[in-house]
Chain A
Amino acid sequence: DQQVKQNSPSLSVQEGRISILNCDYTNSMFDYFLWYKKYPAEGPTFLISISSIKDKNEDGRFTVFLNKSAKHLSLHIVPSQPGDSAVYFCAASGGGGYQKVTFGTGTKLQVIP
């Protein structure tokens, strides 16, 4: 049962344009969400997070939007840079206590110079 879904396995964007990565979840008990970036041969690195009590969180070029009613979140990267080319994982956790962090299947972003 995939509770966190990233339906786009890959995305190509021109340098300087906006990259939008999407994520859907099914568990309404999730109360915080995170995005991780992964380069080949390296472990994922934390990028940005958002609490379920917010609908937007911004950190430099990265903004995460949360739509709780639609159980949907998205990561916007503006402007996109070639160094942003990586696999992006959406993750979620919550529901009280110390719950596991559930990851999506990832979206491979390619930023074309």
Chain B
Amino acid sequence: KAGVTQTPRYLIKTRGQQVTLSCSPISGHRSVSWYQQTPGQGLQFLFEYFSETQRNKGNFPGRFSGRQFSNSRSEMNVSTLELGDSALYLCASSFQGGTLNSPLHFGNGTRLTVT
């Protein structure tokens, strides 16, 4: 069974630009969550989508947005990039959204560098 696929693996952007990251979940998984990982901050929750609906949202500014398509694939968009947005962005899929019997399965992430 194929795992969670994130593209691209690496991105370099300049301040003020926008970026779109893509995530293909494990087949059959309807929940996709996005996390930002920075040194010393652990994994910060961005948002979660289930069946094309945003079900949960973290404490990030409106520049961070996402969507989910009918095939469960998800995209995350960051507009007006800032230097502080440089991070590893991780996507995770699950059947139900990371419950006890449905843990999150992570992709290998997209490393975004903003210069």
Q: Which of A9, A41, A44, A100 contacts B90 (CB 8 A)?
A: A44
CA distance A41 to B4 in the complex (A): 14
Total residues of chain A contacting the partner, CB 8 A: 26
With A98-B97, A101-B98 as known contacts, state yes or no: A43 contacts B42, CB within 8 Å.
Answer: no
Within 8 A of B (CB), among A26-65: 32, 34, 36, 41-46, 49, 51
Contact B48 A100 (CB under 8 A): yes
CA distance A50 to B84 in the complex (A): 35
CA distance A34 to B43 in the complex (A): 14
Contact B42 A93 (CB under 8 A): no
With A43-B90, A43-B107, A98-B55 as known contacts, state yes or no: A103 contacts B43, CB within 8 Å.
Answer: yes
Task: Give chain A residues whose Cβ lies under 8 Å from the Cβ of B48.
Answer: 98, 100
Name the interface size band of chain B. 20 to 34
Task: Give chain A residues whose Cβ lies under 8 Å from the Cβ of B55.
Answer: 98
CA distance A46 to B103 in the complex (A): 7
Q: Jot down 11 A-B pairs with beta carbons below 8 A, ordered by A.
A: A34-B100, A43-B108, A44-B90, A44-B104, A91-B43, A93-B98, A98-B50, A100-B33, A100-B98, A101-B33, A105-B42
Which residues of A does B touch, CB under 8 Å? 4, 6, 9, 32, 34, 36, 41-46, 49, 51, 89, 91, 93, 98-106
